[in-house]
Amino acid sequence: MDHFDFACSNHGTIFLLQALSPEAREWEEEHLPEDRQYFGMAVAVEHRYIGDILRGIKADGLLVRED
């Protein structure tokens, strides 16, 4: 079984990005804006930004489960 650092779920115009590991929470603090909006435990991300964010996460060697 793979260990994932983030879970990303598509909800149409909004994606929910949830940090699942300490490394992911650190990445989130360093790379996402301070005024990011949460929906439960996940960051709500507009569809136009999610591609760049996921590329950045993967470029830094973290694994994302995309639902």
Q: Which domains does the chain have, with CATH numbers?
A: 6-66 (3.40.1170)
CA atoms within 13 A of residue 55's CA, in its CB half-sphere? 5
- 59 C-beta neighbours (distance < 10 Å), count: 8
Instruction: Report the amino acid identity of residue 22.
Output: P
Tokens (6 digits) for 23: 């490394």
28-66 tens-digit pLDDT:
999 999 999 999 999 999 999 999 999 999 999 999 999
3-32 tens-digit pLDDT:
999 999 999 999 999 999 999 999 999 999
- Nearest CA to 43 out of 2, 12, 66, 9 is that of 9
